[in-house]
Amino acid sequence: MIREQDDRPWYRHLWPWLLMIPPGAAVIGGIATAWLAGGPPSLVVDDYSEIALATAQRQARDRQAAALGLSAALRIEAAGAGRPDRVRVRLQANAGGFQPPPQLQLKLVHPTRAELDRVASLTGQDGIYAGEIERPPGRLYVHLGDPAGEWRLVGELGAAATAVGIQAEPAP
């Protein structure tokens, strides 16, 4: 049996290219991994003393809301495309002598993406407040408090929910 010599250069054959696919994919995967890992960390922090101070302040505000017996009912009504949603809040207190403030601060906090957090100032009287806010998509944490920062109520608003009841609970 006589074999003919193939005079084609190596790059004209199929087998070298097939052998280069796995190492080439590994190089591309390594570059993609390095690019993803090189971005700024969004959830990692390094100043633990500031975190401890902020946590203590939040717990004090939560305890104050519990001492006043505060609760709130929040409702978000969609306003339509391109316009902020309408927010209505009814604030109640069990403690005698509590005077509802003329304004409330509402924060809608996204669990993982800080750029989706929203803040609004609600105005009202006799415990009934209204305002506007752009609602980000997904599940959100609701922080409702007075502008002076003396107390706050914290709740959770589901992705499809339009209303939430918030009851003050003492911080541990």
Q: State the pLDDT at residue 53.
A: 85
Specify the pLDDT at position 54.
Answer: 85
Q: What would the pLDDT profile of 81-96 be if each residue is shown by its tens digit?
A: 778 899 999 999 987 7
Give pairs for 82-88: CB < 8 Å, separation 24+.
84/132, 84/133, 84/134, 85/132, 85/133, 85/134, 85/135, 86/130, 86/131, 86/132, 87/120, 87/122, 87/129, 87/130, 87/131, 87/132, 87/133, 88/128, 88/129, 88/130
The mean of the pLDDT values for the chain is 88
Q: For residue 140, give the nearest of 107, 115, 168, 167 by alpha carbon.
A: 107
- The mean pLDDT of 53-58, rounded to a whole number, is 87
Give percent above pLDDT 90 in the chain. Answer: 52
Q: Domains plus CATH for the chain?
A: 68-167 (2.60.40)
* Residues above pLDDT 70, as percent of the chain: 93
* pLDDT one-digit tens code per residue, 110-144: 999 999 999 999 999 888 999 999 998 899 999 99
Task: Say whether pLDDT at 45 is over 80.
Answer: no
pLDDT greater than 70 at residue 149: yes
Question: How high is the pLDDT of residue 46?
Answer: 67
> What pLDDT, on the 0 to 100 scale, is given for residue 171?
56
| Burial track 127-146 (b if 16+ CB lie within 10 A, e otherwise) | bebebebebeeeebebbbbb
